[in-house]
Amino acid sequence: MAGRQRTGTPTLEDVAALAGVGRGTVSRVVNNAAGVKDSTRRAVERAIAELGYVPNHAARSLAGRRADAVALVVTEAEWRLFGEPFFAETVRAVSDALADSGMHLLLTLVRGAAERRRFVEYARGGRVDGVLLVSAHGGEPLPDMLAELGIATVLLGRRSADEPVSYVDVDNVGGARTAVRYLLGSGRSAIATITGPLDMYVAQCRLRGYREALGRGTERDAAPAPGAPDDSWVAEGDFTEESGRRAMRELLARHPGLDAVLVASDTMAAGAVHALRAAGRRVPDDVAVIGFDDFPLAQHIHPRLTTVRQPVDEIGRALVRLLLEELEDSAVAWRHVVLRTELVRRDSA
Amino acid sequence: MAGRQRTGTPTLEDVAALAGVGRGTVSRVVNNAAGVKDSTRRAVERAIAELGYVPNHAARSLAGRRADAVALVVTEAEWRLFGEPFFAETVRAVSDALADSGMHLLLTLVRGAAERRRFVEYARGGRVDGVLLVSAHGGEPLPDMLAELGIATVLLGRRSADEPVSYVDVDNVGGARTAVRYLLGSGRSAIATITGPLDMYVAQCRLRGYREALGRGTERDAAPAPGAPDDSWVAEGDFTEESGRRAMRELLARHPGLDAVLVASDTMAAGAVHALRAAGRRVPDDVAVIGFDDFPLAQHIHPRLTTVRQPVDEIGRALVRLLLEELEDSAVAWRHVVLRTELVRRDSA
DNA sequence: CTGAAAGCGCTAACAC
DNA sequence: GTGTTAGCGCTTTCAG
């Protein structure tokens, strides 16, 4: 394949010649380095404008040994999940957070061993300065591979309780606990839950929060605990709508009298609502549903659902901040941030 | 900011030394160039494996004048739309189509003049070989800017009837026509439509197809035309659910007797169904709804909606093919591809 | 403060 | 077939 780059593009040298200075000076001006006389700087800037000079990325990257880009990697075999609002929102948030830093965002999917290997080569090739990793399941090896290669990496969501690699996570236990307490406080007591895939730590945490609120009532503002429900009140889904529907049917079959459900995702909540309706239950009057993720799908299905909102913009900012910090001083300890969630009530509307 | 690249990474030269050959030979092996003795090739490969050599991208890019990456640009001020299934699906399809070519995908948002400028600089910096552009509204200047700079560009969706820049589009007129004919053929006659933003050519085309089917019945298998409806049967949305809802309410107010609606997107169809239900109409028994885009949202709302499916995978493949062709021979004429759509009937289920 | 010079790691053209 | 060489355009010392 022949060279692709437009030829005749002005180079730093052209600018230097036109401005009557050396290349080094132009470089300093372009990079806003201190120690250039103001008049010189202006002359160079004029030349740059006149020539329409734009720095060549490859050269800069080669000389400066950096890429000015970070990869956002989605390790999710089920790409369909990328359609989930949570991913789209995350991409947007990260993109926004990155905008000021001058870095560019590279979106990459890793859906299996082959693509994982391919991405590692890619990263090793120096095309990114760091990696943001979303949707890592329990045993995902990519973060460790990257860490071993010395590539700055930050996860959105831990893989396990003792995640070593840097991460940003939300307080899933607390969010679920708050949701269930709210239900208890509003008079519901037969409360079931639909979890995410239990090989994901996020799903385990939400389940734990549910159990804590029901079984213990450890904190003083907690409603009276009705005793921990057994596993028949728990159904596992995989974050898809269909799984939410199926899980809800199971729960209804086992406990026709249930009057509230905590669902681990927006999409599954939509499925659960369908199943409830099909069973002739009124939502949320007859059965209260609380879904995680304050996003559109479940709201389409029923606008009065209560949700546990994840602060996506803050997640994005935190991810970028951690990554930049890691790039600054590669000495490092791992960095961890856990963000609070927020209950958004709509069912009283 | 200090250099970021891991240091001590083996270079081509290290490989050459270890294998006891020259750099050129290693380069040939790495690039699968012909004309290397088999034994030599194997020796080099062994050295590569032993050292864990990975080519440095920046150097390759600088010397070879290409980036091995293409940008997928979404020019959409309303980023929220990125959450739409159509975008997620498009990203996936393009990503898949690109996988074989060894190129990488770069996702970029352009939400206004500032970001547009920024992206042009980015592209001029030689960081991408070509650009795929999605969701261009009528007056979007980016494609022309890129074309002028000699950057290979392919649009998904024309901006107007006489789009000059290379594009892949689907047969929106035909799709809408087919849908309306299907409605006519099944005994509906009071047919309204909810369009997309009419500053987008795609929306204009779908509206035209609707009008052609109703007003003319030009082809022999067309059902009897009831005469072209006036503008009161047309409501404009912006592809969001809320706009679909509002548009449907307007249409119902103007024409309580309508018995079918053609909706220009999946999401708006979901909104329309909500509005119909709220008005006490049964869907699709009482009112038939056809939405464009065979995607999940409207199906969540009502599983029996008929849809016009856009062949997303083929779109992805076509986009990539056109772009690669353009990269191969930069001589070029513009290349245009229009894909067929397909009616997917579900309302008889 | 500024110019000159030495690479960054690779490709491609040209010798041998 | 294979080694050698000249850059690609920029950053970064190092002198002045």
CATH of domain B172-309: 3.40.50.2300
Distance from CA of B67 to the nearest CA of A (A): 8
Check B125 against A92: CB less than 8 A apart.
no
Q: Under 8 Å CB-to-CB from A278, ≥6 apart: which residues?
A: none
Inter-chain contact B58–A58, Cβ cutoff 8 Å?
yes
Alpha helices in chain A (DSSP H): 12-19, 23-30, 38-51, 57-64, 85-99, 113-124, 142-148, 172-185, 201-215, 241-254, 266-278, 296-301, 312-328
- pLDDT tops 90 at residue B51: yes
Residue B229 has pLDDT above 70, yes or no: yes
**Per-residue pLDDT, A243:** 93
Query: What span, in angstroms and rounded, lies between the C-alpha atoms of A144 and A135?
Result: 15
In whole angstroms, give the CA distance from residue A275 to residue A252.
9
pLDDT above 50 for A349: no
pLDDT digits (tens, 9 = 90+) for B254-263: 999 999 999 9
Instruction: Name the strand (E) or helix (H) holding B38.
Output: helix B38-51
Q: Which of residues 173-232 of A touch B (CB under 8 A)?
A: none
Q: Which residues pair with A153 in a beta bridge?
A: A131
Task: Give the pLDDT mean for B1-26.
Answer: 81
Separation in Å, CA A29 to CA A52, A124, A246, B140, B289: 15, 31, 62, 33, 60
Residues B304, B292: Cα–Cα separation, whole Å: 14
d(CA A268, CA A240): 6
Quote the pLDDT of residue B35.
Answer: 87
Q: Which nucleotide is nearest to B43 (CA to C1')?
A: D2
For the domain bounded by B12-55, which CATH number is listed? 1.10.260.40
Question: Could you tell me the sign of the dihedral formed by the alpha carbons of A322, A326, A329, A332, in that order?
Answer: positive
Q: Determine which of A38-42, B62-66, B157-161 has the lowest per-residue pLDDT on average.
A: B62-66
- Give the model's pLDDT for residue A140: 95
Closest residue (Cα, C1') to D3: B22
Q: In this structure, is the CB of residue A53 within 7 Å of any atom belonging to strand D?
A: yes
Say yes or no for a CB contact (<8 Å) between B328 and A61.
no
Q: What is the pLDDT of residue A347?
A: 61
Is pLDDT of B222 > 90?
Answer: no
Give the mean pLDDT of chain A. Answer: 87
User: For A23, what's the count of Cα atoms within 13 Å in the CB-facing half-sphere?
Assistant: 6
Which of the nucleotides in strand C have any atom less than 7 Å away from a protein CB atom? 1-14
Domain spans in chain B, listed from the N-terminal domain onward: 12-55, 65-170+312-339, 172-309
Does at least one atom of strand D sit less than 7 Å from the CB of A61? Answer: no
Render pLDDT for A190-222 as a digit per residue (tens, 0 to 9). Answer: 999 999 999 999 999 999 999 999 985 444 444
Q: Answer yes or no: is A227 CB < 7 A from strand C.
A: no
CA of A24 to C1' of C4 (A): 9
Kindly report, residue by residue over B86-109, the tens digit of the pLDDT.
887 888 899 889 887 878 888 888
pLDDT at B141 over 90: yes
The pLDDT, as a whole number, for residue B114 is 85
Residue A88: its chain B contacts at CB < 8 A? Answer: 82-83, 87-88
Interchain proximity A57–B127, CB inside 8 Å: yes
Cβ-based neighbour number of residue B88 at 10 Å: 23
Q: What is the pTM of this model?
A: 0.82
CB-CB neighbors (< 8 A) of A104 in chain B: 106, 108, 122, 127
Nucleotide nearest to A64 (CA to C1'): D11
**B-chain residues within 8 Å CB-CB of A78?**
none
pLDDT tens digit string along A46-70?
999 999 999 999 999 999 878 888 9
Nucleotide nearest to B60 (CA to C1'): C10
User: CATH classification of A65-170+312-339 is 3.40.50.2300, yes or no?
Assistant: yes
pLDDT given at position B122: 85
Q: Are B196 and B238 in contact (CB under 8 A)?
A: yes
At B227, the pLDDT band (50, 70, 90 cuts) reads low
Same-fold call for B65-170+312-339 versus B172-309: yes
Best mutation target, A1, A4, A94, to test chain B (most B CBs within 10 A): A4
State, as a whole number of angstroms, the distance between the CA of B270 and the C1' of C12: 57
Pairing of strands A342-344, A306-309: antiparallel
Nearest CA in chain B to A109: B95
Query: Which residue lies nearest C3, CA-to-C1' measured?
Result: A22
Helices A85-99 and A312-328: crossing angle, nearest 10°?
Answer: 50
pLDDT of residue B78: 66
pLDDT of residue A125: 85
Mean pLDDT, residues B316-325 taken together: 94
Residues A30-53 have a mean pLDDT of 92
**Structure-block tokens of residue A96:** 């926004």
Q: Tokens 């380069």, residue?
A: B27
Distance from CA of B83 to the nearest CA of A (A): 5
CA distance B27 to B44: 10
> Which of chain A's residues have a Cβ under 8 Å away from the Cβ of B132?
none
Q: Is the CB of B232 under 7 A from strand C?
A: no
